[in-house]
A and B are shown apart, each in its own frame.
Chain A
Amino acid sequence: MQFLYAQTDRCLGCRSCEIACRIEHSEEKNLFSAVSQIHPPKKRLFVEQQGDRKEPVLCHHCDDSPCMAACITGSLYRDERGVIRRRDERCIGCWSCIMACPFGVVARDANLHLAVKCDRCPDREIPACVASCPTKALRLVDADMLSEERRQEYMLREEK
C-alpha cells in the first residue's frame, strides 16, 4: 500500500503542490486552463501554516474512512489502489463527507455541485503534487519502505 507522506521539516510553504493539483484537475491539464476555464478546478490539498510550521494537509485515504461511511448515496468508494474516489453521477452535493472528514480536506465545488477530494491522480504514476514539490517534502511512499527508512534514521542517531 502506497501513501502520500509529508515530511514537514522540508515544507517551505511554496504551494507548488496546490497549483499542480489544480492544473492536473483542469480540463486541459495546463496552467492556462486551470485559471481560465469557466469553473476553475478546486485544489484537493491545503498548505497550512501555524507559526513557523508549514505543512500540506491532505487526504489520508483512511482505513476507517469517515467520508465514505458518511456518504449517503454510495458515491464515495475505494478503488483498486486503495484510494477513496467519487462516482460523479451519484454525488448529490449533500456535503456529508465534508461534515465527517476530521482533516477538513474534502471541498465543496459549488459550480459543479460536487464534493471534491484527492483522487491521487488516476492518470499519473506519480501524483501531481508529489511531482511538483521542489524540496521532496511530499513523497509517494510504500509503508514498508518508510518503516525501513525510519529504522535507519534511528540507528544513525544512536551512532552519534
Chain B
Amino acid sequence: MRSDQPEKKVIGLQSGKELAYDKLLLAAGGIPIMLLQNMVGLDSKGVFTLRSLDDAIKIREYLPTCRTAVIIGGGLVGIKTAEALMRVGLAVTVIEQQPQILPLRADLTVAATIAARLKKQNITVLTKEAVTEIITQKGRANGVCLASGGIVPADLVIMAVGVRANIDFLSESGIKVDHGVVVNNRMRTSVPDIYAAGDLIRFIDQATGEKAVSGLWSNAVHTGSVAGCSMSGGRSEMPPMLSVMNSTEIAGLPIISAGLLHTQSDQYAVYTEAQGEKYRKLIFDQDRLVGMIFLGDVSRAGVYTNLIRNRIPLGDRRDTVIREVMTKIR
C-alpha cells in the first residue's frame, strides 16, 4: 500500500494487480514472531511456527520422521502444541525464557501447578532457559543448543514465542501504526475511508489503561462487527477491550484468566484461595475488579471477566464477590 495518492483509493496487490475501493477494511491479522531472525539453523527443515491450519498440516506431514521435539516458548500455543506432540508419541521439551511458563496468562502458582502436570505426562519443561542455536544435519534440524550450555535433541522445532500485528505491508501507506494499526472507537484508521479490525489493531487495555496489541478471538469478533457497522454507515462503538482474557484446558485442568495478573504495587488488593490443584485469585483496585485467575474450577468465570472488562465499581458488594468466588470452589 502506498500513500502517494490517497485520494485515488486504490490498493496494489502482490500480483501487481490494482483494486479500487470506496471503503477499505484492514483485517490482515497477526503473524508469529520469529525470534532471533539470525539464529543459526532457523531456516532448516523441521523448524515450524504454528498459526494456521496449513501450518498444522505441514507439521503433521513432517511428524513420521520425528521422535523428539523442542518447543521454543512456553505460552499457550507452545504448551498446547507440546501436549499434542506428546500424545502422538514424541519426547517433548518446552523451553521458556521467563522464570515461569504462561508468563502472560498465569501467575507463579498456576504456572507451577500446570508445569507439574506437564511433567507427569513426561513433557520436560525448562524455564529461565533460552535456545542459542538450532543444530542441523544435512539441512534438517536435529537438536538445539541451550544458553546454559546443554544440548537437547529435536527432530522438530516449533517456534512459539508469540504473535505480532501483521502491519509491515502498511509501511508506505501513511496509515498511523504503533505496534498495531491505530484506530478510533469506530475502528477508523488515520486515513479516511480505511478501517481496521482484529488482531492487527492497537487498542487501550481496560485493566491496565495501557496501549496493547493482542490476538484474542473475541476482540476480533467485536471489532470486526463494529468496523462493518461503521463502514456501512451505522453507529457502533468499540466495546471495552482486554489484552489478557484467555480460556483453555491444559493437562486436564481448565484455566481462565483475565486482566491484570502480575501486581507489584500496593495499589492492588489480592485475594487467593486454593483447594488442592484448584486455585482462584482476584485482584482489586479499590472497589473495582481488575484481574482474575481461575484454575481447575472455572464455573461462572464470565461474571467476573465482565466485571473487569466493564470496570464495574462494586462498592459494598465487593466483599460479596470475594465470598462468592472463594467459597464456591467445586
Contacts and interface: CB of A to CB of B under 8 A. Distances in A.
Interface majority SS (helix, strand, loop, mixed), chain A = mixed
A102 B302 contact: yes
A95 to B, nearest CB: 4
Q: Which interface residue of A50, A66, A67, A95 has the most chain B CB atoms within 10 A?
A: A95
B298 A98 contact: yes
24 contacts: A69-B218, A69-B221, A70-B218, A70-B221, A72-B217, A93-B249, A94-B248, A95-B247, A96-B217, A98-B300, A98-B301, A98-B302, A99-B246, A99-B247, A99-B256, A99-B301, A100-B305, A101-B302, A102-B306, A103-B302, A104-B301, A104-B303, A107-B299, A108-B299
B328 to A, nearest CB: 10
B47 to A, nearest CB: 26
Contacts of A101: 302-303
Contact of A96 (B218, B300, B306, B320): B218
Given A94-B248, A104-B300, 14 more contacts: A66-B218, A69-B218, A69-B222, A72-B217, A93-B249, A93-B254, A95-B247, A95-B256, A97-B302, A98-B247, A98-B256, A99-B246, A99-B258, A107-B299
A35 B10 CA distance: 65
B247 A96 contact: yes
A104 B217 contact: no
Bin chain B's interface residue count.
20 to 34
Given A72-B217, A94-B249, A99 B222 contact: no
Interface of B: 217-218, 221-222, 245-249, 254, 256, 258, 298-303, 305-306, 320
Contacts of B221: 69-70
A94 to B, nearest CB: 6
Contacts, number: 65
Contacts of B222: 69
Nearest to B305: A99
